[in-house]
Amino acid sequence: MCFTSSPRGARLARRLVSHCLTTWGHPCASAANQKVTLIVAELTGNAVRHGHVSGRDFHVRLTGSADVLRIEVTDTRTERVPLLPSQEPSGEAESGRGLLVVARLASRWAVVPRVGAPGKTVWAEVCLPGH
């Protein structure tokens, strides 16, 4: 799915992913839907804030199996690769917590170069309950 690199695009991505998960049998109130939706919110927000290139969109891909849901958010910015901070930001810091949230909610996550074009893909996987 392709979205404009704007706060509106990030919000639309989050809502569309939640709807998709509902149709896959993970209703809005389920832990899986809530975890994945929060991860999508963080990753798409980062794509808009830190991965934005004027005139370029970001992409979201959601795939699933019986036991794992995988989220991929791709932007066109190559030089700004996210890293998990070595420590939590201070209580007064206004940013720096997003990837800590992703790291705690996801079973695993990473950043890889975008295939076939400039940019990067940040992916995260969430294990489904009972697996």
Q: Which ranges in 30-70 belong to alpha helices (H)?
A: 31-50
- Which residues does 44 contact at the CB level (< 8 Å), separation at least 6? 3, 9, 10, 13, 14, 58, 60, 73
Q: What is the pLDDT of residue 131?
A: 46
Of residues 88 and 48, more confidence is placed in 48
CATH topology of domain 2-84+95-127: Heat Shock Protein 90 (3.30.565)
Rounded Cα distance, 108 and 65, in Å = 15
Provide the sign of the torsion angle of the four alpha carbons 85, 88, 93, 97, taken in this order. positive
Question: Domain spans of the chain?
Answer: 2-84+95-127
- 14-73 pLDDT, tens digit each: 999 999 999 999 999 999 999 999 999 999 999 998 887 887 899 999 998 889 999 999
pTM for this predicted structure: 0.86
For residue 61, give the nearest of 119, 23, 20, 98 by alpha carbon: 20
